[in-house]
Chain A
Amino acid sequence: MSLTDLTIAEARDLLRAGETTALALTEAHLEAVEGAGALNAFVHHTSEIAREQARAADERIRRGDQPDMCGIPIGVKDLFCTRGVASQAGSRILEGFRPEYESTITDKLFRSGAVMLGKLNMDEFAMGSSNETSTYGDVVNPWRAGNSDANLTPGGSSGGSAAAVSAHLCLGALGTDTGGSIRQPAAFTGITGIKPTYGRCSRWGVVAFASSLDQAGPMTRSVRDAAIFLKAMSGHDPKDSTSADLPVPDFEAMLTGDVRGQVIGIPKEYRMDGMPEEIDTLWQQGIDMLRDAGAEIRHISLPHTKYALPTYYVIAPAEASSNLARYDGVRFGHRAKLSQGDGITEMYEKTRAEGFGPEVQRRVMVGTYVLSAGFYDAYYNRARKVRTLIKKDFEDVFADGIDAILTPATPSSAFELGAMQDADPIQMYLNDVFTVTVNLAGLPGIAVPTGQDRRGLPMGLQLIGKPWEEGALMNVAQSLEERAGFVARPEKWW
């Protein structure tokens, strides 16, 4: 078995047994990354840092000190600030930016011995569902449909992370999720991705998109790996006042495989008009799998579901317009060349016009509009009230005894790059229709690969859990994973 085919759990155990080394694992993955330029997943290579970290990890393991992630090669989404390493959030406006500091999450991972292979491509400022808004160009999904050689989207915004994990370029990757940006690309590439409860992981040093929705999480090739990875990145951080001061459980130890008596809710509002039959069938299969595993299936209603996307497209742009005001050409990143007589306002306007791509500009301006005098109440405050109702929908079903909720992860499998080019922006936004509710309610959600469509493309289901119960959620997810037995992987063409 090749070293790039291991799971994190297997690699950890081999390292522990002295049967491989962090350096060997790292070299194998660096070689895989080197050969996968066609996917455009890795955009900043950090092979020197990786080798140095791998040697340090081996030294540590020799001393008998081996945290779970020690010596594990990972990829890091470009949204995370990494000291001395380009961190651009996929945007031209952060060209040349090399942070003087380390994000709390990458710091935690490095302290536990994880090895960074490089930075991963993403939609600009995490705004997109197809990884086509990146300043680095599109990421290509390692999967192809049937015998077609058309390039497919890996989904977005964590498209580079999804492609890299799916193509075995790293054992796991960091992603972030504001409306579905971990779960949708995970589903499109046949991997597992979890967005933890809002506040589980520190947002410090993660470039902000919509602060009340943003949450980082791991993308991996198994639920067990997600549990291992998530534990290493979770925990309170005094530098993020919204990070929760709660103990981090041993998520992996909670994977008992026993879901008997768990009550799984099936929300009727997630059955959408025009949803492909294959997605519907997959959902029914998922229901049957969990029932077979001993869970009780109960049909539920989350009545405000249809208002989630419009709510999101008020709140997320509003917060983005505020967060992205910092890109002014003064403190970091790109500054436009000025003409004779240009003042500071022209500097701001030209810098932001050159630095932000069209989708980011659109969202910043929509956010500016919904927050502007006269519209604040009608749009922004109303959206915040509807958000309260969306969260209450979930609280009600959990209070009625539901333990987790099963839904499709995406309304389709991966589509072709360029397919949405002429569609209106709303069509692209619909990709997040099943995932966005979870961010609005601050809940944990996980996408698990569950089947393939008739063209052989992976499809995933989503499980939604109670706040702070990622362990119980992943236990149900693992039961689904076991029964689905998804073992397919993309055939190497790159």
Chain B
Amino acid sequence: MSIDTETARRVAKLARIAVPEDRLPALAGEFNAILGFIEQLQEVDVEGVEPMVSVTPMRLKRREDVVIDGNQAKAVLANAPEAREGFFAVPKVVE
């Protein structure tokens, strides 16, 4: 599997990272080196093997579905780059 500039552009877009046009060929090259390394996995016989879900066999704990926390709007917003009137502020998303 070889990654071209077009695929690199698409991946950057999916990852929501702005990559300048002139960086894309080098990025595609780096991806190819890493994917070439990963390619070895194709030679392993994984017939009938379950994909790992949890490294330590455990049953997830259950808890009562009740409110345990809340009324912390100030703390929640304390680190926001921009907050107004109790909300996170972002550029306009609806026309």
Contact = CB atoms under 8 A, between A and B. Distances in A.
Contacts of A346: 18, 91
A244 B91 contact: no
Contacts of A366: 31, 34-35
A398 interface: no
Contacts of A348: 16
Contact of A198 (B42, B56, B60, B93): B56
Contacts of B16: 325, 328, 345, 348-349, 352
Nearest to A96: B79
A391 interface: yes
Contacts of A217: none
Interface in B40-95: 40-42, 44, 46, 49-56, 58, 60-61, 63, 72, 75-76, 78-82, 88, 90-93
Interface string B2-29: 0100011001101111110000000100
A388 B49 contact: yes
A386 B46 contact: yes
A441 to B, nearest CB: 7
A467 B56 contact: yes
A141 B82 CA distance: 39
A426 interface: yes
Contacts of B63: 238
Given A238-B61, A333-B79, A426-B34, A350 B42 contact: no
Contact of B56 (A330, A385, A442): A442
Q: Which 9 A-B pairs have the closest CB atoms?
A: A442-B55, A384-B51, A335-B81, A332-B79, A349-B18, A353-B18, A385-B46, A100-B75, A348-B16
Interface of B: 1, 3, 7-8, 11-12, 14-19, 27, 30-31, 33-35, 37-42, 44, 46, 49-56, 58, 60-61, 63, 72, 75-76, 78-82, 88, 90-93
A202 to B, nearest CB: 13
Contacts of A330: 80-81, 88, 90
B18 A389 contact: no
Interface of A: 96-100, 197-199, 212, 238, 241-242, 244-245, 304, 306-307, 309-311, 313-314, 321, 325, 328-335, 338, 342-350, 352-353, 356, 361-362, 364-366, 368-370, 372, 375, 378-379, 381-389, 391, 424-426, 429, 440-442, 467
A42 to B, nearest CB: 23
Contacts of A389: 44, 46, 49
Nearest to B82: A335
Contacts of B33: 424-426
- Among B1, B31, B51, which residue has the most Cβ atoms of chain A within 10 A? B51
Given A366-B34, A369-B11, A424-B33, A338 B56 contact: no
A348 to B, nearest CB: 4
17 contacts: A97-B79, A98-B78, A99-B79, A212-B52, A242-B54, A328-B16, A329-B81, A330-B90, A331-B88, A344-B91, A352-B16, A356-B17, A368-B11, A368-B15, A378-B42, A383-B41, A385-B49
Nearest to B19: A353
Given A199-B56, A338-B91, A369-B7, 13 more contacts: A244-B58, A314-B38, A361-B17, A361-B19, A369-B35, A372-B11, A372-B14, A379-B41, A382-B42, A389-B49, A425-B30, A426-B33, A441-B55
A96 B78 CA distance: 11
Nearest to B34: A366
B79 A245 contact: no
A352 B27 CA distance: 16
A369 B31 CA distance: 9
